Amino acid sequence: MSDTPTEVQEPVVPENELEKVRSEALEWKDKYFRALAEIENSRKRLQRDKVESQSFAIQNVLVDLLQPIDHFEKALMHAENTTPEVKNWAIGFEMILQTMRQVLEDHGAQSFSSKGQQFDPHLHEAVETVPTSDVPEGTILEEFQKGYKMAGRIIRPAKVKVATAQVQE
């Protein structure tokens, strides 16, 4: 054995073989980055779906609250013409109603006014029509039930009375 270091020679790789390995490496690198992008897109899609699902769940609960709110509002409209004892009860019910309205507001649900507006089938449900020449056709004359929006979507259309053209005889 000799103590002289032996020189290590690099293996000689043909140029076409080297080019093939480089090409494969670039191909694998491309696949790796595409897989990373797909994983990131899937993560974002799952997050978006989760938020949307939660929003729909909240929306469904809020829609269920609208009916009791309507009943409170109608009952309280008649409370002024009653006895002092009933008026005291009405004050308590008004506080409950305000709390329920605050829950709606906290979650982004808002009522919208329809009376005097032009009928829009996306916002309104016509439950009655009245022929008249006093206002333009399609004008909302009365609102029977408030409509509500949440996050730019209608969660309950307003129930309204709409003016139609008066028939000439």
pLDDT at 1: 52
pLDDT at 123: 96
CA–CA distance from 50 to each of 5, 29, 36, 101, 110 (Å)?
65, 32, 21, 26, 23
How far apart CA 164 and CA 138 sit, in angstroms, is 6
Instruction: Give the chain's domains with CATH numbers.
Output: 110-169 (2.30.22.10)
pLDDT, tens digit, for every residue of 149-169?
998 899 999 999 999 988 776
Read off the pTM: 0.69
pLDDT, tens digit, for every residue of 31-68?
999 999 999 999 999 999 999 898 889 999 999 999 99
- Tokens found for residue 99: 């709390």
In the structure, how many helices (H) and strands (E) does the chain have?
2, 6
E strand intervals along 8-157? 109-112, 124-132, 140-145, 147-150, 153-156
Terminal alpha carbon distance of the chain: 126
pLDDT at 160: 97
pLDDT at 98: 95
Query: Considering all CA atoms of the chain, what is the largest pairwise distance in Å, rounded to the nearest integer?
Result: 126
How far apart CA 145 and CA 26 sit, in angstroms, is 65
